[in-house]
Structure 1
Amino acid sequence: MGPVNWLGVALGTAGCFAVGALWYGVLFGKRWQREVGVSEPPKGAAAARIMGLTLLAEFVVVSMLAHLVARTAPAPHVVLMMAGGFGAAIIAPAIGINYLHQRRSLALFAIDAGHIVVGLLVAGLALIATA
């Protein structure tokens, strides 16, 4: 097992966070707000808390991906398969289970699941680029 690529983790976390900013901003922000019933984004301390905890959660996910990469030393294309697989086959179904019970819309699921899949693919690219 090789060491965890902490530079890749840092850049991957930042990349995943940046995807979220675009995703919930210019790309799907208005639709997402309609789907969840939010009319205004949080401000001040509430915004800082939400963004800080989001960054921490993304760091945990990207760290686990990096640990798996360090443990298995896969080829670059396999890193992307792992990253996409984490998002599409583990996290997205978990979101979907919760949304089914909460009776949330398919549109909301697509927005939120899409964010995590694309964000993790960006994180995988960061791990590859810094290897």
Structure 2
Amino acid sequence: MENVNWIALIVAALSTLVIGFLWYGPLFGKAWMKETGITEEKAQKGMILRFSISVVLAFIAVFFIYANSVISGGMPPDLHGVEVTKFHTFGHGVVHGIMTALFVAMPVLVTNALFEQKSFKYILINVGYWIVTFAIMGGIVNAWV
């Protein structure tokens, strides 16, 4: 843990705010609000607390991505057939981020949404956000080793 790039982890965690601003703002904000039944007025209440908690949780998530793609090198060198550091690229991190989103985040999000009887559009918006977000976080921490 002595070589952890804490700045990369912090930047990656903060990137969730930028992506979220775009995703739940100009890109899919109106559709998301319609699917959740949340009004703009209601969305504004308690925003600082929600943002603060979400960044802490994003930091935990990005640390998981970091541990699985950077600390472990993704895979042992003998499986890649080359030195592990050749895989410390933005693109390779994106792949690990997407895999994490698809195999960890998506099953949880979809299961909850199904039991909450949410629409398919709601599921696509939220799962899409986490796929993009985990991809960017994975890219940042993997490239910034």
Counterpart code for 1:112: N
Count residues in correspondence.
130
C-alpha deviation, 1:2, in angstroms: 7.2
Q: Which runs of 5+ in 2 are unaligned?
A: 75-86
Structure 1 residues 2 and 84: CA distance shift in structure 2, 3 A: farther
Structure 1 residues 4 and 68: CA distance shift in structure 2, 3 A: farther
Structure 1 residues 116 and 36: CA distance shift in structure 2, 3 A: same
CA RMSD of aligned residues (A): 1.8
Identity %: 22
Quick check: 87-96 or 68-77, which moved more? 68-77
Runs of 4+ in structure 1 displaced over 6 angstroms?
A: none
Structure 1 residues 60 and 10: CA distance shift in structure 2, 3 A: same
User: Would the aligned equivalents of 2:66 and 2:141 in 1 still touch at CA under 8 Å?
Assistant: yes
TM-score (norm 1): 0.89
User: Would the aligned equivalents of 1:9 and 1:59 in 2 still touch at CA under 8 Å?
Assistant: yes
1:84 pairs, out of 98, 109, 114, with 98
The answer for the alignment partner of 2:35 in structure 1 is 35
Distance 1:123 1:2 in 2: 21
Distance 2:115 2:126 in 1: 16
2:119 pairs, out of 95, 101, 105, with 105
Q: Per chain length, whose mean CA-contact separation is higher, i.e. which structure has more relative contact order (CA < 8 Å, sep 6+)?
A: 1
